Amino acid sequence: MAITLSASEMPGPPLSARLTTPQIWGIALLTPYLLVFLAFVVYPVCYGLWLARHPASYVALYHDPIFARAALNTLIFLVIGINFKMMVALFLSGFFVQSRSWIKWLSVLFILPWAVPSIPTILSVRFMFNPEWGVVNTLIFKLTGEDGPNWLNDPAVALTMAIGVHIWKSLPFWTLILMTGRLAISNDLFEAADVDGASWWQKFRFITWPSMQALYLTCTLLSMIWTLGDFNSVYLLTGGGPADLTHVLATLGIRYLRLDQLSLAMASIVCALPFVLPLIYFMMKRLSR
Amino acid sequence: MKLPTLREVGVEARLLLIGIPVFLWTMIPIYHMFLFAISPKEDAFSGKLWPNHPTLNNFRIVFHQEHYFLRDFWIQFWNSIVIAVAAGALTLMIATAAAFAISRLKVPGSRWVMNLALFTYFIPAAFLAVPMYRTMGNYGLLNNHWSLILAMVTIASPYAIWVLKQASDKLPVELDEAAVMDGATIPQLFRLVYVPLMMPSLVAIGTYAILLAWNEYLYAFLLLSKDTEITLPVALGNFLAADDSPWELLMTTGFIYALPPAAIYYAFKRYMVGGLTAGAVKS
């Protein structure tokens, strides 16, 4: 890297004369990706920003109660949902590194939510909680003789369940990642701690956590960025309802798009950028070393 | 045989106390889907843990397309396959070429390309979907399979390039030098040295891209709309539009749809876990 840098800073013959055969090949091999990038990332992003240029769109968003609610929901989803998910993943990663054959088998099953597509399983959850025919309310009726609640009709419950579905789907992935982090810690440290008679909390506090801290933070931020784009968990479970009270920014943008209010759709996304871009910048700093 | 001590029993009990809830949490939605798939319509809503008369009739109905919602099942299944395979193959080609150029040939400016790719990787999918929809419209690709294939390539290739670059950075430079000494040209170096050595990562990335495209709902639902053009997940979503949806058939179709990715995942698990988690998050 250092060599290419200093070479490009040096004044010299024109670019074409400085390129060697491998470099010409390299440029040719990079071209397909660059074309895809220009056509399907640069152009849409610029076009989208151009569509979002009218101040009137932001005024309209400001006056749209659904937008405020969606922004709040997104914040709850990210701050509470993701942090909770990552704490559970950290805890379970400690469980799954235990060497027992039944835990091995359980971990094979545990990865299923990640391996299967989200649509059928989210719909399955949706049916379980159907107020009239769903298995949950059928059981409640059998056991208590009373009708169960109309689960997805309460915005707070519905949003909680959407977060639950999201966690169900992505918990295995993050647990797996955090497991690799735990397995990278040298066992000598734990053996030494055992000799010194450390409690499990002390082992976690002084060995596990310090070596997993950076990974944990990276995972949490990455998960937050991706969860902003999680359309399925909310759309397929609640459809944004009841009364558009459970939208998140991801579903709201699509909702405006479907209503043919493209500039509003883009404006709602642009409003999220001040929060997203610093996260992305921070992640790129961490990962592009 | 040694009897377990009280302490060991205590540890085991505590592990079970975590294991059992984890098992239930993971399996209930999947089992519920399976239960619907093997239940006749009357049994499906009874709330039993096992149907009185388990049946494969639902599968027969789906396979023979004997319901209004299912009349295009096979063509939608085929669409899903075509799009997943095409997106997987294209991603693999584009990403391998790019990773080779960035990591082995050290093209000037390749660090920039890597950063651009990483940036794309971090754009939330639903945010890009809105302008992507219009872009595809401008290109005249809406309702064409190519729109979804290209969108999936766009989303899959940044991560693919990144993982492949990480993996190929680990190959020793001496290999390339030795091959060049022996008079290998760049295409030969790529074909005879690079690709064989990278096989495990290439399998992982190919699988990743195929699964991503097979599982995609949002883009498929935006970009394709004709009943004979859509993929299976969109068809499943369309079931929801009706109030009298035949749930047992929806769950059966969903079960059939979920099987191939699960099978592929477990078949390539050793590549996937090694190849993808190694690159997934660097601390």
Q: How far apart are CA B107 and CA B102, in angstroms?
A: 6
- Shortest distance between the Cα of B77 and any Cα of chain A, in A, equals 14
Q: pLDDT confidence of B69, banded at 50, 70, 90? A: confident
Percent of chain B with pLDDT over 70: 93
Chain A positions in Cβ-Cβ contact with residue B19 (cut-off 8 Å): 95, 102-103, 106
Cα A145 to Cα A133, A137, A139: the distances in Å are 15, 10, 9
Mean pLDDT confidence for A79-108: 91
Closest alpha carbon to B269 in B189, B204, B179, B214: B204
Q: pLDDT confidence of B265, banded at 50, 70, 90? A: confident
| Contact indicator for A214, B283 with CB cutoff of 8 Å | yes
Confidence check: pLDDT of A241 > 90: no
Cα A10 to Cα A2, A4, A26, B108: the distances in Å are 13, 10, 21, 13
Number of Cβ within 10 Å of residue A42's Cβ equals 13
Chain B positions in Cβ-Cβ contact with residue A2 (cut-off 8 Å): none
Q: Do B151 and A30 touch (CB under 8 A)?
A: no
Closest alpha carbon to B99 in A39, A45, A33, A63: A33
Which amino acid does the sequence have at B183?
G
pLDDT of res. B83: 95
pLDDT of res. B216: 92
Confidence check: pLDDT of B235 > 50: yes
- Shortest distance between the Cα of A151 and any Cα of chain B, in A, equals 16
pTM of this structure: 0.87
Please return the burial class of B98, using the count of CB atoms within 10 Å of its CB with bins 0-12, 13-18 and 19+.
buried
Number of Cβ within 10 Å of residue A169's Cβ equals 20
Q: Do B117 and A116 touch (CB under 8 A)?
A: no
Any B CB within 8 A of A133 CB: yes
A7-11, A31-35, B87-91: which range is least confident on average? A7-11
Instruction: Report the residue from B130, B277, B283 with minimal CB separation from A257.
Output: B130
Closest alpha carbon to A265 in A250, A280, A276, A282: A250
Which amino acid does the sequence have at B200?
P
A101-118 pLDDT, tens digit each: 898 899 889 988 988 898
Closest alpha carbon to A27 in B40, B105, B23: B105
* Cis bond upstream, residue A242 (ω within 30): yes
Any B CB within 8 A of A88 CB: no
In order, the DSSP letters of B218-249 are HHHHHH--STTT--HHHHHHHHTTSTT--HHH
A114-151 pLDDT, tens digit each: 888 989 999 899 888 888 778 888 888 888 878 778 88
Q: Which of A9-13, A85-89, A277-281, B123-127 has the highest mean pLDDT?
A: A85-89
Q: Do A265 and B130 touch (CB under 8 A)?
A: yes
| Contact indicator for B96, B168 with CB cutoff of 8 Å | no
Residues A111, B39, A122, B75: is their CA dihedral positive or negative? positive
Closest alpha carbon to A106 in B18, B34, B49, B211: B18
Instruction: Report the residue from B27, B131, B161 with minimal CB separation from A48.
Output: B131
- Shortest distance between the Cα of B254 and any Cα of chain A, in A, equals 5
pLDDT of res. B79: 94
Confidence check: pLDDT of B56 > 90: no
pLDDT of res. B283: 37
Integer Rg of chain A from CA: 25
Instruction: Report the residue from B120, B129, B162 with minimal CB separation from A41.
Output: B120
pLDDT of res. B276: 58
CATH of A54-288, one of 1.10.3210.10, 2.120.10.30, 1.10.3720.10, 3.30.590.20: 1.10.3720.10
pLDDT of res. B242: 66
Any B CB within 8 A of A252 CB: no
A22-31, A131-140, B194-203, B256-265: which range is least confident on average? A131-140
pLDDT of res. A288: 67
Mean pLDDT of chain B, nearest integer: 86
Q: How far apart are CA A19 and CA A42, in angstroms?
A: 27
Domain parsing of chain A, residue ranges: 54-288
A60 or B275, greater pLDDT? A60
Which residue in the block uniquely carries the two structure tokens 């993701």?
A82
- Shortest distance between the Cα of A243 and any Cα of chain B, in A, equals 17
